[in-house]
Structure 1
Amino acid sequence: MDKIALISGAIFGLTAVIFGAFGAHLLKKKLNTEQLQSFETGVKYQMYHAIVLLVLGFQLNQQLTLDNYIVYFFIIGILLFSFSIYGLVLSSANNKKLKFLGPITPLGGLCLVLAWGLLIYRFI
């Protein structure tokens, strides 16, 4: 599990930098201010949680089922939250908004909240 957390954290960190540069340079001309802010929110949350995964990869006990759930909830949360935001923003910029992604974003947020909650429980 530690390798999954470390590799996932590194991949999410790498892609957050790429997406951030993509948003700052290429999308700046294509997106309105609100869309750009939403895209940046996805990038920020992705990077914050990538760093958390890296720290957890060095700290958690891979033998504990709870630790596995924490890592999985962070990974799923990042994918659902940040990537649904990217999809919503990019599709709306092309006037083909993928509305089915709207309900996915809060599910990703819920997974992130669950991961943080389980982490608190683990510390207690």
Structure 2
Amino acid sequence: MHRKLLILGSLSGFLAVILGAFASHGLEKVLSMSELSTFEVGIRYQFYHTLLAILCGSISALSEKSKNTIFYLILIGMILFSGSIYGLATNNLSAFDFKTIAWLTPVGGIFLISSWLVLFFNVLKMKKK
């Protein structure tokens, strides 16, 4: 499972850099400052959880079950949270009204928060040397 977390982290980081460059060099002409700021929030949280995936993939003390749980919480959370934010920020560029699925943002946030809690409780269970 550590491999999956590292793949998730590296792929997510790759996509976040591309999305950041796209926002800076392509979207700034078609989005308002508020929409661009919203888009950047999605990128920022994607990066935070990219680093979390890499960290968790690198911690040998985490059980495979915990790594598996964290993997899915981060993956689903990033898709729902950052993905919905990207959609909402670019809503005026699409025929689809992303406001109808805005409720996915807090659901994704719950998944992301849960990934941190799983890590926290696993750290608490670690034995002191």
Task: Say if 2:77 and 2:111, in contact at 8 Å, map to a contact too.
Answer: yes
After TM superposition, give the deviation of residue 98 of structure 1 in Å: 1.9
**Other-structure match for 1:36:** 36
After TM superposition, give the deviation of residue 30 of structure 1 in Å: 0.4
Q: 1:56-114 CA distances to partner (integer Å, 9 max, x unpaired)?
A: 11114575322311221111111111011111222234475322320001111000011
**Other-structure match for 2:5:** 5
Identity among equivalent pairs (%): 36
3-state secondary structure, aligned to 2:28 = coil
The alignment's TM-score, normalised by the length of structure 2, stands at 0.88
Q: Residue type matched to 2:77 in 1?
A: G
The alignment's TM-score, normalised by the length of structure 1, stands at 0.91
Q: Residue type matched to 1:59 in 2?
A: I
Largest Rg, 1 or 2 = 2
Single out whichever of 83-92 and 56-65 deviates more from structure 2. 56-65
3-state secondary structure, aligned to 1:28 = helix
Gaps of 5+ in 2: 125-129
The whole-number CA distance in structure 1 between the counterparts of 2:26 and 2:122 is: 42
RMSD of equivalent CA atoms: 1.7
Q: Residue type matched to 1:13 in 2?
A: G
Gaps of 5+ in 1: none
